Structure 1
Amino acid sequence: MIRVAVVDDDCLVTESLKTILEASGEIKIVGTGHSAPEAVALFLKERPDVLLTDIRMGESTGIQASKEILQQMPEAVILLLTTFSDDEYIREALALGVKGYLIKQNLSTIVPAIKAVNNGQSVFGTEIVGKLTEILQNTTPKKSNNYQLSEREEAILLEVANGKNNKEIAKALFLSEGTVRNYISQLLEKLEVRDRTQLAIFYYQEYQ
């Protein structure tokens, strides 16, 4: 049973989410809240497996709550649920290291998303994934090589983050497509991520 805390400034939304999640038979709601300070207090008290929180909540935000929680507990698993696919919110969420960002309209995706982030995956709704390349391209990277990537691996990671396919990467870096595929497989294994989208997310989080 996955222990989940739910926070949203709309009481009806909170209760609806509680009903939907518990109906799955795989999730136990350990508490609910309606503001960013409540999100922090609830998380620190209950230590849920996953915190599902809204972003815009009165004077504070789920982003601010996430930042405070992650400063105290870097291993915290936070899934943002919002009606806003605002680029700045997405950028802040990625930088903080939250595990997911979903749009409220797609309620059917919430249970699978909670299960995924609880298993260590990152989950971003289709609306968010569509914005990632643009966000990454508009971000000036900083140097980070905590994972001891080679210069070639870093170059390929950058191209993946820029949304290029294997053929385009091969042409840009004067490599064969087979070599590019091999490098990407190595990156997926070395960075312990499952697909190209997560490679792009990794690039933003480590090189932003």
Structure 2
Amino acid sequence: MKVLVVDDDKLVCVSLKTILEAEKDITVVGIGHNGKDAIELYESLKPDILLMDIRMETMTGLEAGEVILKSDKNAKILFLTTFSDDEYIIKALQMGAKGYIIKQNFESIVPSLRAVHMGQSVFGEDIVTKIPTLINNSNKADFSSFSITDKELDIITNVAEGLSNKEIASRLYLSEGTVRNSITTILEKLNLRDRTQLAIFYYKNK
């Protein structure tokens, strides 16, 4: 997989490049040091994953991530930061980042990159448990106004609880294929990108 590394600490960039390229399936195609670098390098290098810090001079990682995802909704952005600030977490979730991991958990970086490359979202357990309380629940919505059926709402609820398609199928007595197809339909109805955004939508509107 091709990875673009963006961090304002040059030593961190060099260390990450060394660690990542020790893996046979990972190539660091570029290194940047601020949000503007991230945007320019992402456009020119088309990496599989952008591994990016959040707090950087000139332009933050969050600002760069928003720009990149507007031009490429399929961009896979994994934030790597020393900060677990609630505000940063919620912004990363809402914009559609594929992951948010803490630099101190260095051993999780390579597994997280592989998971994101496979289409999964990666948020540490300590971050996932914060989601319900981080999201403002003041804006309630009638799910039926989005043409969401009762069965689809059951599926949404289980997605928000972090269950896999297989687990949801078992709980609701459905086939795994039905669950997968239903989630695709739900995402289209709600104009959402992935399961993470679906969970956020649920917690904001339940």
TM-score range, shorter chain: 0.7 to 0.9
Q: Is residue 188–residue 199 contact of structure 1 (8 Å, CA) maintained in 2? A: no
Q: Does the 8 Å CA contact 2:157/2:202 hold for their aligned counterparts?
A: no
Aligned with 1:190 (options 175, 182, 191): 182
CA 1:144–1:105: 2 relative to 1, 3 Å: farther
Alignment of structure 1 residues 152-171 onto 2, 5 Å = 152-154=151-153, 157-158=156-157, 161=160
Partner of 2:190: none
Q: Could you tell me which residue of structure 1 aligns to residue 189 of structure 2?
A: none
Q: Distance in 1 between matches of 2:180 and 2:134?
A: 21
CA contact (8 A) 2:96 2:196 kept: no
Matched, 1:140 2:139: yes
How far, CA to CA, are the matches of 1:27 and 1:56 in structure 2?
25
CA distance in 2, matches of 1:128, 1:184: 30
Structure-2 change in CA distance of 1:35 and 1:134 (3 Å): same
Q: Residues 23 and 144 of structure 1: is their aligned pair in 2 closer, same or farther, counting only changes over 3 Å?
A: farther
Instruction: Tell me the TM-score normalised to structure 2 length.
Output: 0.77
SS in 2 for 1:81: strand
| 1:200 to partner: Cα distance | 6.1
Amino acid at match of 2:62: I
Q: CA RMSD in A?
A: 3.3
Match of 2:166 in 1: none
1:119 aligns with 2:118: yes
Residue 45 of structure 1 aligns to a residue in which SS? helix
Contact 1:156 1:180 in 2 (8 A): no
Matched with 1:204 is: 200
Residue of structure 2 in register with 1:19 after alignment = 18
Q: What SS does the corresponding residue of 1:117 show, helix, strand or coil?
A: helix
User: What whole-Å deviation, never above 9, does each CA across 1:69-113 have from its counterpart, x for those lacking one?
Assistant: 011111111101111111221111111111111111111111111
TM-score (norm 1): 0.76
Q: SS where residue 60 of structure 1 aligns?
A: coil
Residues 1:3 and 1:200: Cα distance change in structure 2 (over 3 Å): closer
Q: How far, CA to CA, are the matches of 1:179 and 1:26 in structure 2?
A: 34
Q: Higher mean Cα deviation, 56-65 or 147-156?
A: 147-156
The verdict on how the C-alpha distance between 1:68 and 1:107 changes in structure 2, with shifts beyond 3 A counting, is: same
Q: Report the Cα distance in structure 2 between the residues aligned to 1:110 and 1:139, rounded to whole angstroms.
A: 35
Partner of 1:109: 108
Between the aligned partners of 1:63 and 1:129, the Cα distance in structure 2 is: 19
Distance 1:201-1:68 versus aligned 2 partners, 3 A rule: closer
CA contact (8 A) 2:13 2:31 kept: yes
Deviates more, 1:106-115 or 1:182-191: 182-191
5+ residue gaps, structure 2, are 164-168, 185-193
On the 8 A contact 1:142/1:207 being kept in 2, the answer is no
Please report how far the alpha carbon of residue 159 of structure 1 lies from its aligned counterpart in structure 2 after TM superposition.
Answer: 7.2
Which runs of no fewer than 5 residues in structure 1 stay unpaired? Answer: 166-177, 193-197
